[in-house]
Amino acid sequence: MELKYKRVLLKLSGEALAGGQKTGIDFHTVRTICQSIKKCSDLGAEIAIVVGGGNFWRGRSSGGMDRTTADHMGMLATVINALALYDTLNQLGVPVRVMTAISMPEIAEPFIRNRAIRHLEKGRIIIFGCGTGNPYFSTDSASSLRAAEINADVIFKATLVDGVYDKDPNEYDDAVRYDSLTFGEVLEKDLKVLDATSVAMCRDNHIPILVFSLSDPDNICRAITGEEIGTLVKG
């Protein structure tokens, strides 16, 4: 099967790993997602993953805490999720590495760009933990940054919604889904694709963003082979 995208940065939210539990990790859900990732890897795709930590902690929702401390806690939450993905992919027989933006050598490799690219070229999946390693930056920002660094063809944002809408489809029955958008339209209309910092970085580095639903994990393979799903942001 022919691939439309060879090297992909897959952004997974922490909530996606929680399944119906809403918090924590649902290992049946994680295994289902990882089986789809394995299918894509078997097709020859080079896959890097940025995972969020919202199923455990959100720095920006930490009340009266110091924001830097709260964000550091969020970075550690992403490592929990990264290790869950790592272990599941490993059990499926997929070569995989975890790389973190904060040094924790007993747990993961440090992020080194050339090493990351070498892993991808050798067919290994990479899971990036700790976001950018800096407070005040979301894992959306980490996605666009790492995508640019590894020369990804596209960012896949796998969400709980099947694309980008003009308003929240969970609240408004008349919400309209876009098939395609430009980066300028996303920023002008303040559409919730990735945060504005991330969208601007993708625009400046000519990295398209495909937003689709993870309700069917096989959508990852559909997207990578060029099937028309979700909303494509480019240009």
Supply the CATH number for residue 134's domain.
3.40.1160.10
In this prediction, residue 192 carries a pLDDT of: 80
Whether 1 maps to a domain, the answer reads no
What span, in angstroms and rounded, lies between the C-alpha atoms of 191 and 168? 10
Give the mean pLDDT of 213-232.
Answer: 94
Number of domains in the chain: 1
**Mean of pLDDT values over 176-199:** 91
Which residues lie closer than 8 Å to 227 by C-beta, 6 or more apart?
none
pLDDT at position 58 over 80: no
Give the pLDDT confidence score for residue 160 in this predicted structure.
84
Assigned domain for 101 exists: yes
The residue segments making up the domain with residue 171 are: 7-233
Instruction: Name the percent of the chain lying above pLDDT 90.
Output: 85
CA distance 173 to 10: 29
Q: Tell me the two tokens of residue 147.
A: 């995508």
Residue 26 per-residue DSSP state:
-
Q: What pLDDT sits at residue 19? A: 87
- Token pair in block for residue 14: 């922490």
Residue 2 lies in a domain: no
Indicate whether 105 pLDDT > 80.
yes
Joined together, the tokens standing for residue 56 give 């455990």
pTM given for the model: 0.95
In a domain, 55, yes or no: yes
* CA distances (Å), origin 82, targets 11, 28, 34, 48, 131: 12, 16, 12, 11, 11
pLDDT in tens, 144-164: 999 999 999 999 999 888 999
Task: Evaluate whether residue 32 is within a structural domain.
Answer: yes
Q: Is 38 domain-assigned?
A: yes
